Structure 1
Amino acid sequence: MSQLICKNLLVGYEGKAILDPLNFEIHAGGYLCVVGENGAGKSTLMKTLLGLQQPISGQIEMGDGLRRNEIGYLPQQTIVQRDFPASVQEIVLSGCQSRCGLRPFYSREEKQLAQDAMHKMQIGSLAKRCYRELSGGQQQRVLLARALCATRKMLLLDEPVSGLDPKATTEMYHLIEKLNQQEGITVLMISHDIQAAVCYASHILHVGETIFFGTREAYLQSPQGRLFAAGKGGAK
C-alpha cells in the first residue's frame, strides 16, 4: 500500500519552482533515496513533504493511515545543534512531543518508547551523558532515536551520514537498513552517496536538470544512473 504519493508536485520558493513536476510514490516498507546535484532541490522537497513549506502546485497524498505528525524526521545538523546542552535521554524523549497533545508531561508509555528507541540505536548506556560531549556518530544515533519516537511508519532522513567518519557511516547505514528490513519502517533518505543509495534503497528519485523515479535496477540502466555510478555526476 502506498504511504506517500506525489502528483505533479512543484516545489520552490516565493512562487518560483526549482524543479520540474515530480511524480512518485513510496509504498509501506519501501526505501527511497533522493539523489542529485547540490542545490537541485532535495532539501526543499523534504521540507515540503513535511509540511514545513507549501508546494507551489500539485498534490501530496498520504495513505496507510499515515499522518504528517507521525513521520519521524532527522534533519541535517547545524553547529549550534551539535553543542546542545541536554542529556541523551532528554533529547530522545523530546521526540514524543507530538504524542503528548496538551499534556505537560510524558507518560510511562512514552518514556518506555524512548528507552526502546535508545536500545535499538545501541545508545542505552549513554542516556545520562550530555549530548554535546558525544562523537558525531553517537549524536546521529541520538537524533535517529528521537525520530523513532515520533513514528512507527516512516522516517525522513536528510543526509544522515554527513560529516561522519567511514566506520560511523557504515554503522549508521546498517542501523537504518535494520529499521527498514526488520521493523518495517518506510525510509525516505536524501543522500549524496550514490553508491550507498544503490546498495540499500529499493527505489531512487533523481532530481536536477532531469528527473528519474524507479527501482534501483532501472536507475542503474538509466542515463542518470550510468553517469552517477561512474562517479562523473557529483551526486551531492
Structure 2
Amino acid sequence: MAQLTCEHLWLGYEGRPVLEDLSFSVQAGDYLCIVGENGSGKTTLMRTILGLQKPMRGNIRFGDGLREGGIGYLPQQTNVQKDFPATVRKVVLSGCQARLKNRPFYSRADKKRAEENMNKMGIGAFAKHCFRELSGGQQQRVLLARALCATDKLLFLDEPVSGLDPNVTAEMYALIRSLNREGVTILMISHDLASAVKDASHILAVGESVFFGTKEGWLAEKGGERL
C-alpha cells in the first residue's frame, strides 16, 4: 500500500513553477533517492511533502497509517544548527514534539523512545553531552535519532552525508540501509548518485526531464550517467 502519493504536482514560488505535472508514489519499505542539479526543484518538493508549503496544483495523499506531519525529517545542517547549545538528550527528545499534542511535558513513553533511538544510533553514551561539542558524524547520528522519534514509518533525509569524511559517510549509509531493512521507508535527497544507485530501490530524477522508477529501470534507461 502506498504511504505517499503525489498526483500531478505543480510546484514553485510566486506563481513560477520549478516542477510541472509530477506524479509518483512511495510504497512501504521503499528506498527512494531524489537526485537532480541545484535549482531543479528537489528542495521545493521536500518542503511540499513536509507540509511547509502548498503545491500550486495537484494533490499529496498519505496512506498505510502515515499522516501529514508524521514524517521523520533530517535536514541538511547549517553552521548555526551545528552550534546548537543543547544536550544530545534534549535534541533527540525534541523529535517527540508532534506527539505532545495538548500535553505540556514529555511523557515517560516519549523519554523511553528517545533513549531507545539514541542507543540504536550508538550515541546513548553522549546523552548528557552538548550537541555542538560532537563531531559531524556524531551530530548526524543525533539528528537521525531525533527523526526516528517522530516516526517509525518514513524518514526524509536531506543530504545526510554532506561534509562527512569517507569513513563516516560509509557508516551513515550503513545505518540508513539498516533502518530500511527493518521496514522504515526512506526518501533521500542526494548529490551522491553512485551511492544512491547502490542503495536505492527507486530513483526520482528531476530537472529538464523527469524520471521515476526502479533503480534497474534507471540504469537501463540512463546507463548510470552522472547528473
Q: Tell me, yes or no, whether TM beats 0.5.
A: yes
In the alignment, the residues of structure 2 paired with residue 227 and residue 173 of structure 1 have an alpha-carbon distance, to the nearest angstrom, of 21
Structure 1 unaligned regions, length at least 5: none
Letter in 1 for 2:205: H
In the alignment, the residues of structure 2 paired with residue 14 and residue 22 of structure 1 have an alpha-carbon distance, to the nearest angstrom, of 18
- 8 A Cα contact 1:140 1:160, kept in partner: yes
Letter in 2 for 1:104: P
Secondary structure (helix, strand or coil) at the match of 1:21 reads strand
Tell me the equivalent position of 2:69.
69
Tell me the equivalent position of 2:149.
149
Letter in 2 for 1:213: F
Q: Following superposition of structure 1 onto structure 2, how do residues 121-136 of structure 1 map, counting pairs within 5 Å? A: 121-136=121-136
Q: Following superposition of structure 1 onto structure 2, how do residues 71-220 of structure 1 map, counting pairs within 5 Å? A: 71-182=71-182, 184-220=183-219
1:115-147 alpha-carbon deviations (Å, 9 max, x no partner):
011011010011011000000000010001000
Residue 195 of structure 1: how far off its partner (Å): 0.7
In the alignment, the residues of structure 1 paired with residue 47 and residue 212 of structure 2 have an alpha-carbon distance, to the nearest angstrom, of 19
In the alignment, the residues of structure 1 paired with residue 224 and residue 209 of structure 2 have an alpha-carbon distance, to the nearest angstrom, of 14
1:126-169 alpha-carbon deviations (Å, 9 max, x no partner):
10110000000000100010000000110011111111111111
Residue 69 of structure 1: how far off its partner (Å): 2.0
In the alignment, the residues of structure 1 paired with residue 92 and residue 225 of structure 2 have an alpha-carbon distance, to the nearest angstrom, of 40
In the alignment, the residues of structure 1 paired with residue 164 and residue 51 of structure 2 have an alpha-carbon distance, to the nearest angstrom, of 28
1:205-236 alpha-carbon deviations (Å, 9 max, x no partner):
0000000000000001113x5422xxxx3xxx
Tell me the equivalent position of 1:227.
225
Query: Which TM-score applies when normalising by structure 1?
Result: 0.94
In the alignment, the residues of structure 2 paired with residue 155 and residue 68 of structure 1 have an alpha-carbon distance, to the nearest angstrom, of 13
Secondary structure (helix, strand or coil) at the match of 1:59 reads strand
The runs of 4+ residues in structure 1 deviating greater than 6 Å are none
In the alignment, the residues of structure 1 paired with residue 225 and residue 192 of structure 2 have an alpha-carbon distance, to the nearest angstrom, of 14
In the alignment, the residues of structure 2 paired with residue 145 and residue 196 of structure 1 have an alpha-carbon distance, to the nearest angstrom, of 22
Q: Following superposition of structure 1 onto structure 2, how do residues 14-53 of structure 1 map, counting pairs within 5 Å? A: 14-53=14-53
Letter in 2 for 1:227: E
Structure 2 unaligned regions, length at least 5: none
In the alignment, the residues of structure 1 paired with residue 224 and residue 198 of structure 2 have an alpha-carbon distance, to the nearest angstrom, of 15
Identity rate of aligned residues, in percent? 63
- 8 A Cα contact 1:20 1:211, kept in partner: no
- Aligned-residue RMSD, C-alpha: 0.9
In the alignment, the residues of structure 1 paired with residue 70 and residue 50 of structure 2 have an alpha-carbon distance, to the nearest angstrom, of 10
Secondary structure (helix, strand or coil) at the match of 2:119 reads helix
